[in-house]
């Protein structure tokens, strides 16, 4: 047999076998986390001092203090094992960032690239040069070009110094607020309403500035993207893919899925578990928001961002023809297997059960793996229910903002008794790997 063909067959067999016995990414990387934090703390202190010196007086002190608070929260995230080190994700993203920087003749001292165990298709970049890419992005984009588009956008924020500029905007709004407060002390009538209107104007102004920054980052990010020789239509396609995202995967869980996985030996499925809470008597038209959600959004609507790009960077060909490369596909498969461990890590146990059901109903070859995580999440839900803390880990039904499928799931979960949850937990923990 051809040697290359033999190696290929063995590698395919190994990967398939690894999938059926998949082990989540090990986050017991204490030494790597410690090393990162040591460097991060040192570089952060240098960066903060630089900003404090650049903006003298109270402004410099306020910027430095705000940065320190954010950096402290970030350090806690690292300590809580929310990031992975020395994985294929880290190497892949680092190489992509290096390619983009090199193609655009860019350099940023002490640039750090991290991958977070977060399922949302997001990334962010701090002003000190810490770029974070969520693992969930691999589940929502189609190829490396679309992943690169998100990274280019974040580098746009970095090189436009947006994090400091928004801090300056916030400080100025604080000064305006103090001046307005003095004025309001002299007001005799409708003081509360006037204070609310001023607060609303300030909030809208701050949010408008953030949305402006997003458009600026899209523009500069697209220039970086073009020079890095990625497929041009994929920048736009990435935005369309992200438009589908709304906290939880939109894939529905069918009614028969509940019966399939919760009709258990000696504990038959109960139709009452599927009973839905009745919200038909509530008329949402009577309730008027005091704050317009669109006006306080930090990001423009995806459709508006696409229109902005089309206006400033018109493309002749809007159809992506770029096929994903094997290394991207491999990481995408791993990202899929990490969805449930990631939800468990972030203590999103209710969403973890919902996602497990989405996977289980597909007759996936990794069914035992998903049953394992179903049991682990139910165990946490059982503990929470027993200790009257279930609201922390399981959403309440909100028909105005949730899909019908997710509402049905929440109704199902809240209809289960403590004994029901205990039995399901014990059954799937015994059935687990």
Structure-token pair, residue 84: 């992975």
Residues 212 and 340 in one domain: no
Q: So what's the pLDDT on residue 243?
A: 80
Q: Which domain holds residue 421?
A: 251-277+324-430
Task: Tell me the pLDDT band of 248, cut-offs 50, 70 and 90.
Answer: low
Same structural domain, 231 and 268: no
**CA–CA gap between residue 332 and residue 172 (Å, rounded):** 43
Do 262 and 329 lie in a common domain? Answer: yes
Q: Are residues 135 and 214 in the same domain?
A: yes
Same domain flag for 366 and 260: yes
State pTM to two decimals. 0.86
The structural domain count of the chain equals 2
The answer to whether position 296 is within a domain reads: no
In this model, does residue 304 exceed pLDDT 90? Answer: no
| 267 in the same domain as 397 | yes
User: What would the pLDDT profile of 354-401 be if each residue is shown by its tens digit?
Assistant: 999 999 998 777 899 999 999 999 999 999 999 999 999 999 999 888
Q: Domain for residue 143, yes or no?
A: yes
Q: Are residues 63 and 97 in the same domain?
A: yes
Tokens of 108: 């940023």
- CA dist 370 and 340 (Å) reads 8
Please indicate whether residue 75 or residue 247 has the higher confidence score (pLDDT). Answer: 75
Is 98 inside a domain boundary? yes
Percent of the chain with pLDDT over 90: 65
What is 271-318 written as a DSSP string? GGGGPPP--TT--GGG---SS-HHHH-SS--HHHHHHHHHHHS--S--
Same domain, 164 and 90: yes
Please check whether residues 273 and 133 belong to one and the same domain: no
Query: Mind giving me the DSSP string for 21-46?
Result: T--PPP---HHHHHHHHHHHHHHHHH
pLDDT score at 141: 94
Does residue 216 lie within any of the structural domains? Answer: yes
The verdict on 226 and 114 lying in the same domain is: yes
Beta-carbon count within 10 A of 358 CB: 22
User: Which two tokens mark 57?
Assistant: 């007086």
Tell whether 342 is covered by a domain.
Answer: yes
Is the pLDDT assigned to residue 157 strictly greater than 50? Answer: yes
Give me the sheet containing 130-134, strands edge to edge. 83-84, 112-116, 130-134, 123-125
Beta strands in 142-287 (DSSP E): none
11, pLDDT greater than 70: no
Domain match, 202 and 81 both? yes
Please report whether residue 411 resides in a domain: yes
pLDDT band with cut points at 50, 70 and 90 for residue 17: very low
Residues 223 and 330 in one domain: no
User: 17 lies in a domain?
Assistant: no
């Amino acid at each position: 047999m051809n040697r290359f063909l033999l190696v290929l067959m063995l590698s395919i067999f190994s990967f398939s076998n690894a999938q059926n016995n998949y082990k989540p990414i090990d986050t017991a990387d204490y030494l790597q986390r410690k090393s990162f934090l040591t460097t991060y703390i040192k570089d952060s202190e240098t960066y903060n001092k630089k900003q404090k010196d650049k903006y003298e007086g109270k402004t410099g002190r306020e910027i430095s203090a705000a940065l320190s608070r954010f950096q402290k929260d970030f350090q806690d995230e690292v300590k809580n094992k929310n990031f992975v080190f020395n994985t294929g994700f880290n190497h892949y993203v680092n190489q992509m960032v290096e390619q983009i920087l090199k193609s655009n003749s860019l350099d940023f001292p002490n640039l750090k690239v991290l991958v977070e165990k977060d399922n949302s298709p997001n990334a962010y970049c701090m002003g000190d040069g810490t770029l974070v890419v969520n693992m969930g992005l691999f589940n929502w984009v189609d190829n490396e070009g679309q992943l690169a588009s998100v990274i280019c956008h974040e580098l746009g924020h970095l090189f436009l110094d947006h994090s400091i500029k928004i801090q300056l905007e916030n400080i100025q709004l604080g000064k305006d607020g103090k001046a307005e407060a003095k004025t309001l002390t002299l007001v005799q009538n409708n003081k509360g309403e006037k204070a609310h209107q001023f607060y609303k104007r300030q909030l809208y102004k701050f949010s408008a500035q953030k949305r402006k920054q997003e458009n600026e980052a899209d523009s500069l990010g697209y220039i970086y993207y073009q020079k890095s020789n990625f497929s041009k239509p994929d920048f736009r396609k990435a935005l369309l893919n992200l438009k589908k995202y709304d906290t939880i995967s939109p894939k529905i869980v069918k009614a028969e899925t509940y019966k399939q996985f919760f009709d258990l030996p000696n504990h038959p499925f109960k139709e009452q578990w599927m009973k839905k809470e009745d919200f038909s008597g509530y008329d949402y038209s009577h309730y008027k928001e005091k704050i317009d959600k669109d006006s306080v959004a930090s990001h423009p609507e995806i459709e508006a961002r696409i229109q902005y790009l089309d206006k400033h960077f018109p493309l002749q060909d809007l159809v992506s023809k770029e096929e994903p490369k094997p290394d991207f596909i491999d990481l995408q498969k791993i990202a899929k297997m990490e969805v449930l461990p990631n939800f468990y890590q972030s203590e999103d146990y209710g969403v973890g059960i919902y996602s497990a059901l989405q996977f289980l109903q597909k007759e996936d070859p990794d069914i035992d793996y998903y049953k394992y995580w179903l049991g682990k999440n139910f165990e946490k839900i059982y503990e929470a229910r027993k200790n009257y803390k279930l609201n922390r880990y399981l959403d309440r039904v909100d028909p105005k903002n949730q899909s019908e499928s997710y509402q049905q799931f929440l109704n199902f979960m809240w209809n289960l008794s403590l004994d029901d949850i205990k039995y399901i937990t014990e059954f799937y923990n015994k059935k687990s790997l």
